[in-house]
A and B are shown apart, each in its own frame.
Chain A
Amino acid sequence: MVVGFSVNLEILKQLLVGFIQNEVGKMGFNKVVLGLSGGVDSSLCAYLAALALGKENILGVMMPYKTSNPESLRHAELVVKELRIRSLTVDITPMIDAYFQTFPEVDHIRRGNKMARERMTILYDQSAAENALVLGTSNKTELLLGYGTLFGDMASALNPIGDLYKTQVRLLAHHLGVPQVIIDKKPSADLWLGQSDEEELGFTYDEVDKVLYYLVDKRYSCADLIEKGYPADFVHSVYQKIQNSQFKRRLPIIAKVSERTIDRDFRYPRDWGR
């Protein structure tokens, strides 16, 4: 294990639970809605949220598509059962299929993105119905690599695990008692049959987390990392992924015209006045 991933999990838990309580509370809410995919990221978020707000204040939404791996739904249901949180299942097949009837030839990337965005609209609608906030479940690894759908699974009001690498998500999930079967299974966005994150990315999370940790957290240059023994093409491809996905981590850019432009010279925190 790389130094920096092994952390005091009790402090980490305390910090993230406090984050949810504080940031949800100060916006005038006491509930969150989150999508449960059956994967380790959303499962961990559900566990953290239940600790922070109480099981009755969490709505876990399961949104399978007809080609989704049935195991995903089973694992999401396992989380619901273990935590005794409220849940809702919305099959997105009719909405997705209705849309793609008009565009039958599209590739699985477009289909996958559409599904992610369909789920986002459901979560936001449910959050309005529940008077709740949408809890994000993207981890630092995927945010840095851009391995997520803009305005889809990346959309949320607040995200407790966006500064944790996948490796740390697994450690904390284990610490909080997320079922081991969820932690151990092969990570998948499950946007098409048999999809595997690591196959699609071309490297394992264990490998890439180390490179990301050194590049981002420890400010190593690519040259430093290659000197340290990491393969040059691997290091460069990771760097490229970070650079090419920068747009996903920012609000849309605005053409500057006036003397005071939003987010340029009009700078306020989100927690303005709260």
Chain B
Amino acid sequence: MILKVGLGQINPALGNLSRNIAIYEELFTLAKAQAVDLLIFPELGLTGYFLRDMVPEVALREESAILTRLKDMSREIPIATGFVEESKEHLFYNAGIYLEDGEVRHIHRKVYLPTYGMFDEQRYFARGKMVRAFDSKFGRAALLICEDLWHPSTAYIAFQDGADFLLVLSSSPGRGVDLGEKLVISDTWETLNKTYAKLFSQFIFFANRVGYEDGINFWGGSEIITPEGQQVAKGRYFQEELVVGEIDTNDIRRTRISTTLLRDEDLDLTLRELLRIHQKKFA
């Protein structure tokens, strides 16, 4: 199956839901014009990233008007996006949602909340406790958010849970200028994306935002990577755009025939050894 994927490399306004939903509508129209089959927005794309005390102010319940609007849009094009989720218990999550045919198919709550250096997430967000793949009309997928992917365990779980597509929603702050042709952080992310795509023979859809918040930039460079590690679409650095790329989902089958990593992976061994380590550490 040929699948046209759109990555919304947007510059959301910080804590301004109405302005951001307008940006989503605009990108949605662009995506429709290009016959995009799946549209992915970045981490906290609906709200902006460095929210601090705004977190509860921009949090959305599932029945909120904005998510209802996105559900409606998903009847035409399935949508994944980052947002602040407010649970029934009034806990606030840095979450990603996948919407299809007007329904919520999956919500992932970010597990690894960076709280170091410039990051403050554990101060404001509750921590997710699950990594699960889910079924979409295109096949089995998993959704991870930014720092989640810096823990190979999350990608490994998604792989074992049968994900053929890894949707990575990101708001990665730019830093590290050395003599290279790109920021140090961009180089690191591109290495991660390519490595995971190849190790787990799956597609990576990496949607990263652009813009500045209180002087901190977000570098963009959204990309689509095939299970063989080929980049089929690449967003520019620092510029807003809808990044569109076409993939052939049959690549997954072909890659898994030639590279039998999933077949050969010994889940029992991994579990046994991890249990042994767990017992040793926590007994």
Residues of A within 8 A of B (CB): 4, 6-8, 11-12, 14-15, 18-19, 22-23, 26, 158, 266-274
Contact = CB atoms under 8 A, between A and B. Distances in A.
Contacts of A15: 174, 177, 217, 238
The 5 tightest CB contacts between A and B, nearest first, are A22-B212, A7-B177, A267-B52, A269-B214, A271-B14
A128 B15 CA distance: 27
Interface in B1-24: 11, 13-16
B134 interface: no
B219 to A, nearest CB: 9
Which of the listed residues A12, A15, A272 has the most CB atoms from chain B within 10 Å of its own CB?
A272
Nearest to B174: A15
15 contacts: A8-B177, A8-B180, A14-B237, A14-B238, A18-B217, A18-B238, A19-B215, A19-B217, A22-B11, A158-B215, A268-B52, A269-B51, A271-B213, A272-B15, A272-B54
Nearest to B51: A269
A270 B215 CA distance: 10
A53 B212 CA distance: 16
Given A23-B212, A274-B13, A6 B53 contact: no
Which of the listed residues A6, A266, A269, A270 has the most CB atoms from chain B within 10 Å of its own CB?
A269
A11 B177 contact: yes
Nearest to B177: A7
A23 B237 CA distance: 18
A270 B214 contact: yes
B182 interface: yes
Contacts of B211: 22
Given A8-B180, A11-B182, A274 B215 contact: no
Contacts of A23: 212, 215
B179 interface: yes
Contacts of B183: 11
B80 to A, nearest CB: 25
A268 to B, nearest CB: 5
B89 interface: no
Contacts of A8: 177-181
A272 B14 contact: yes
B50 interface: yes
Interface in B226-274: 237-238
A47 B178 CA distance: 22
A271 B53 contact: no
Nearest to B52: A267
B15 A273 contact: yes
A54 B52 CA distance: 34
B178 A7 contact: yes
A273 B179 contact: no
A7 B181 CA distance: 10
Contacts of B50: 269, 271
A239 B273 CA distance: 47
A158 B212 CA distance: 12
Which of the listed residues B11, B53, B182, B183 has the most CB atoms from chain A within 10 Å of its own CB?
B53
A271 B238 contact: no
A269 B52 contact: yes
Which of the listed residues A7, A15, A271 has the most CB atoms from chain B within 10 Å of its own CB?
A271
Nearest to A12: B177
A272 B13 CA distance: 9
Nearest to A260: B53
B9 to A, nearest CB: 14
Contacts of B11: 22
Given A8-B180, A15-B174, A271-B214, 13 more contacts: A7-B178, A8-B178, A11-B177, A14-B237, A14-B238, A15-B217, A22-B212, A267-B53, A268-B52, A271-B50, A272-B14, A273-B14, A273-B15
Contacts of B15: 272-273
Nearest to B16: A273
Nearest to A3: B178
Nearest to A21: B212
Which of the listed residues B11, B15, B180, B212 has the most CB atoms from chain A within 10 Å of its own CB?
B212
A214 to B, nearest CB: 16
Contacts of B181: 8, 11
Contacts of B54: 268, 272
